[in-house]
Amino acid sequence: MTHSPEIDQKRLRRAVILGPVIIGIFMLADMSLLPPSLYGIYLENRLLYQMPVVALVVVGVFQKQFEPYLKFLFSVLLLWLCFTNFALIHRCWTYFQFAFPYEGTILYAFFCVFALRIPYKYTFFCCVLILSGFLYLLYANAIYQERGPISAAFVAGGLFICVYARYRIDRSLQRMRSINNELKKLSTLDPLTNLNNRRALMQSSEALLALSARQQLSFSVLLLDLDDFKKFNDHFGHQKGDQAICLQADILQQVFRRQSDVISRYGGEEFMVALSGMSESDIKQKCEEFEAQWQYHAMTHAPDASHKIMTCSVGVALSENCVGEDLTSLIHHADQALYKVKVQTKGTYHITTLPAHRGTEC
């Protein structure tokens, strides 16, 4: 299950705010266990070294300019918390022969890795440094004496769980994103031509129509149908028919090159193009360029077809002021224009220019 970036950001901010609260709770627990002689260096460590850095991270999370660097920032925070904790352990043992608990190292790692979602590569790097620092701490100071090897194994095991679990989570999330992208592609693209399918066509065309109306631009719908396609399919077979459909898609993308142009497979051998801000003369030029492309490719047609080579008929509905226009109505007018071409000569185009719509609001 995936969430929008806004939801993920809110959850991350809540987790970061929760961090100092958890540290504060553990401070109360630690103070109840520590001898009074350690209060000074303990509070110095937590209040002068750890909490200011945590506060800076909390502030940074709410600054947009820091968003690209948050994972790195969280990794630095994890290392800072662990190594300042090692410094406290060292001081407690050196000056007071008190073995301060090391389990906070594991808690810091688990919180930063899973609550703050430090990625696997950062996690691996941080855990290697943390384990190295802890092993050096044990080597330089006989803090936990005979429990030293067990303590090292416990920290190593906890950090290994962090790294391995983060790796599995990241792999699962990556696989899920890949599947979601593939599903999105399948739901919006025609598998044969890689153009928008009918569902995506309607959404994109409606959005383009609304934008054109707001900007008081012209809007046109083109319906394009391969002539005598059934005869072509019956004579040459479906594989050749698919090649003709793919060629149609390629030609359309060559002719209608603007980023705003919506090109889609409408169904079967029929395609649709939605255009914004083009005059009747512009559309005529595009239609002639389109027909010239088919003439250039000269794909041999079935013997009983209307033309010796494959041709395509085009019906166009043009609204010079699309304020108040309806996409379904425009498609209907384009279909009627296409029908006029089909019953006459085929292989050409017909443009129906609609009068300004009576509505005044988009």
Please report the DSSP string for 146-160 in residue order.
GGHHHHHHHHHHHHH
> pLDDT value at position 264?
94
Query: Is residue 34 situated within a structural domain?
Result: yes
Q: 254 and 325 share a domain? A: yes
- C-alpha separations of 315 from 85, 251, 261, 337 in Å: 75, 17, 17, 4
d(CA 247, CA 314): 16
Q: 241 and 157 share a domain? A: no
CATH number where 258 lies: 3.30.70.270
For 93, the domain range is 5-186
Q: 223 and 342 share a domain? A: yes
Enter the tokens of residue 53. 């850095």
DSSP classification of residue 276: E
The answer to whether 43 touches 12, Cβ cutoff 8 Å, is no
Q: 211 and 315 share a domain? A: yes
Residues (pLDDT < 50) of the chain are 1, 358-362
d(CA 204, CA 216): 18
> pLDDT value at position 3?
57
Q: 179 and 209 share a domain? A: no
Query: Is residue 360 situated within a structural domain?
Result: no
Q: 204 and 121 share a domain? A: no
Q: 214 and 99 share a domain? A: no
The answer to whether 333 touches 325, Cβ cutoff 8 Å, is no
Query: Is residue 156 situated within a structural domain?
Result: yes
Domain boundary among 186, 217, 244: 186
Q: 132 and 228 share a domain? A: no
Query: Is residue 334 situated within a structural domain?
Result: yes
Q: 254 and 170 share a domain? A: no
Phi, psi of 66 (to 5 degrees): -95, -5
Phi, psi of 354 (to 5 degrees): -90, 145
Query: Is residue 362 situated within a structural domain?
Result: no
| CB-based contacts of 41, cutoff 8 Å, min separation 6 | 88, 91, 92, 95
Total domains in the fold of the chain: 2
The answer to whether 70 touches 9, Cβ cutoff 8 Å, is no
Give the angle subtended at the CA of 10 by the CAs of 6 and 12, to the nearest 5°.
115
DSSP-derived 3-state class of residue 319: strand
> pLDDT value at position 361?
38
d(CA 148, CA 141): 10
Enter the tokens of residue 287. 């239609």
Query: Is residue 361 situated within a structural domain?
Result: no
d(CA 284, CA 227): 19
Which runs of E-coded beta strand occur in the chain? 219-226, 262-267, 270-276, 312-319, 349-354
Q: 182 and 237 share a domain? A: no
Query: Is residue 191 situated within a structural domain?
Result: no
| CB-based contacts of 216, cutoff 8 Å, min separation 6 | 321, 323
> pLDDT value at position 184?
78
Q: 11 and 132 share a domain? A: yes
Q: 140 and 247 share a domain? A: no
> What is the model's pTM?
0.65
Query: Is residue 359 situated within a structural domain?
Result: no
In angstroms and rounded to an integer, the radius of gyration of the C-alpha atoms of the chain is 34
